[in-house]
Amino acid sequence: MIFINNKYTNWYNSIINNAKNRTITGYTENHHIIPRSLNGTNTSENLVRLTAREHFVCHLLLTKMTVGNARYKMNFALHMLSNVKNIGKGRYTPSSRLYEYAKKSFKEALNDVWTEEKRKKHAEKISPKVKGVKRSEASKEKMRNKIWTEKAIQSRLANCIKNAEARKGKTWSDKKRQSTLNTYLQKNLSIALQIIALYDSGQNNLQISKQLNISWDKVKYSLLHRKDFESYQVTHGKYGYEKT
């Protein structure tokens, strides 16, 4: 049996049966009764039209109707549905409480399935294949132009949070701070010099951000570190390479 026999399954079936026996107008969304990730099909018998809110509720219930790897898959689906951008009229936007639940339950399900032992085994398996491999220029260019999916963004965000927690309570040395600052200055020197020039010409932060198509915060931060950028330019030149 795919689903646990509990109250959540009963509620889920009630929503599905009610949707099958009605005529609905207005905005609706297609829902797989047996999810595709659990071997559900695209046949008409496995599809039902739900309101946007019903669709979200059904995916919420699915996280409470499954166990093991199936539960992880259902939590991932809810996690993704919670992050869908509200494009067009009709999309359901979950409350902050539901959004928080979706995040936490996905993290818990992920930890249950993707254990530390599995992570180590995976790393040991792929390490010999990638260690010492150099990317071609074509591959590097492809990576520079890569469009990140929502899944990839969330994965990188999770890694950033994990690394931040690991560093919590630890202090950086002056050498580490300077190295990090120099990296930032090198990467942003060109745009910072443009910001400074526009600011000196009389434009304000908002005008600069619109003209250069960058965030207001980037303009503000560049101006706050103006002396650092100007000092870096003196020693490294306009393009950020150290003078010899």
Mean pLDDT for all residues in the chain: 83
- DSSP class per residue in 39-50: T---SGGGEEEE
* Angular region, 185: left φ>0, alpha ψ -120 to 50, beta rest: alpha
- The pLDDT of residue 210 is 86
CA dist 84 → 35, 91, 92 (Å): 18, 9, 9
- The pLDDT of residue 59 is 93
Q: What is the mean pLDDT of residues 11-32?
A: 91
Model confidence over 87-132: pLDDT tens digits? Answer: 556 777 888 888 888 888 888 888 887 788 887 887 788 777 777 7
